């Protein structure tokens, strides 16, 4: 698919910014949605200077799912036509221990990491399906492949999103609309600044390259970097009696 018009929801994350830069360098027209006005303006100015055919923005809190239909409509109006692809990149990394003691926090994280992306994907699917074209690319996580004690709130939200996207992909299979689930591993971003880094960590730019490729060429599930596929295959198939004893 030759990309000309792309919308990015959750455009101020480090991965989303890297995707926007790579698309801008290809001359793609972009519409960016984010909730932090200063960060969104900084991203817009950066993208405008990198060769994009045009860049527009909408300020919005994507946890407000009642706005999603209007945000998708506004994205296409701003882009000047039907979007070729949309990236759903919103997400937060919760404090697992805090969520264990306050379910209100866990509920909020599940809204941000599962309910809101699923809502956006639904509105995009219903717009793309009648015209039989378009690609929905959403960022899930390897954390969603199996529940771990250290991050099961985040993991369960991402796991729910992965299953939702799998079903949406099957629903849209005959329409010509693509749905790609992106599963990054450890990514060195401000969200993970407190974590000790190692060999398995990747830069946002490397993840973005895989996402842009998924936008252009499609697919079903994409592990980024690729080596997370065999790692998660092994983790998914560990016997439960062994898995629950691991400190991971």
Kindly list the structural domains of the chain, giving each domain's residue range(s) and its CATH number in brackets, ordered by start. Answer: 5-246 (3.40.50.720)
Output the pLDDT for position 193.
Answer: 81
Under 8 Å between Cβ of 33 and 10 = yes
- The model's confidence at residue 248, banded by pLDDT at 50, 70 and 90, is confident
Output the pLDDT for position 191.
Answer: 81
Q: Identify the CA nearest to 5 among candidates 96, 84, 91.
A: 84
What are the phi and psi torsion angles at 189 (to 5°)? -130, 170
The two counts, helices (H) then strands (E), for the chain are 10, 7
Tens digit of each residue's pLDDT (9 = 90 or more) over 154-203: 999 999 999 999 999 999 999 999 999 999 999 998 888 888 888 899 99
Examine the pLDDT at 1 and tell me if it is beyond 90: no
Under 8 Å between Cβ of 36 and 104 = no
**Preceding amide of 225 cis, omega within 30:** yes
Tens digit of each residue's pLDDT (9 = 90 or more) over 221-247: 999 999 999 999 999 999 999 999 887
Give the residue numbers marked as catalytic: 154
Under 8 Å between Cβ of 177 and 136 = yes
Rounded-to-integer distance, Cα 116 and Cα 88, Å: 10
% of the chain surpassing 70 pLDDT = 100
Output the pLDDT for position 194.
Answer: 81
The residue with tokens 């697919």 is: 219
Residues 6+ apart with CB under 8 A from 192: 93, 186
Output the pLDDT for position 13.
Answer: 95
Helix (H) or strand (E) holding 187: none
Examine the pLDDT at 135 and tell me if it is beyond 90: yes
Output the pLDDT for position 172.
Answer: 98
Listed range (43-52, 110-119, 129-138, 189-198) with the worst mean pLDDT: 189-198
Q: Which residues pair with 183 in a beta bridge?
A: 223
What are the phi and psi torsion angles at 206 (to 5°)? -70, -40
Q: Which residues pair with 32 in a beta bridge?
A: 8, 57
Output the pLDDT for position 124.
Answer: 98
Under 8 Å between Cβ of 189 and 147 = no
What is the average pLDDT value for the chain, to the nearest integer? 96
Instruction: Supply 57's token pair.
Output: 């923005």
Tens digit of each residue's pLDDT (9 = 90 or more) over 25-77: 999 999 999 999 999 999 999 999 998 899 999 999 999 999 999 999 999 99
Under 8 Å between Cβ of 68 and 123 = yes
């Amino acid at each position: 698919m030759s990309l000309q018009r792309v919308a990015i929801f959750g455009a101020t994350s480090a991965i989303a910014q890297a995707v926007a830069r790579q698309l801008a360098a290809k001359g793609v027209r972009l519409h960016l949605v984010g909730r932090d006005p200063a960060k969104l303006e900084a991203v817009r100015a950066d993208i405008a200077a990198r060769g994009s055919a045009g860049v527009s923005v909408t300020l919005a809190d994507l946890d407000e799912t009642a706005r999603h239909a209007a945000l998708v409509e506004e994205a296409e109006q701003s882009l000047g036509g039907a979007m070729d692809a949309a990236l759903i990149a919103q997400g937060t990394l919760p404090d697992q221990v805090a969520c264990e003691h306050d379910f209100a926090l866990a509920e909020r994280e599940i809204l941000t990491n599962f309910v809101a992306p699923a809502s956006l994907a639904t509105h995009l699917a219903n717009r793309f399906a009648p015209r039989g074209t378009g690609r929905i690319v959403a960022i899930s996580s390897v954390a969603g492949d199996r529940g771990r004690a250290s991050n099961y709130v985040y993991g369960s939200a991402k796991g729910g999103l992965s299953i939702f996207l799998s079903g949406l992909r099957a629903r849209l299979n005959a329409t010509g609309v693509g749905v790609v689930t992106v599963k990054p591993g450890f990514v060195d971003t401000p969200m993970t600044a407190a974590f000790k880094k190692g060999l398995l960590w990747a830069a946002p730019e490397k993840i973005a390259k895989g996402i842009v490729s998924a936008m252009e060429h499609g697919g079903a599930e994409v592990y980024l970097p690729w080596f997370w596929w065999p790692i998660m295959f092994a983790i998914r198939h560990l016997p439960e009696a062994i898995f629950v004893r691991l400190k991971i």
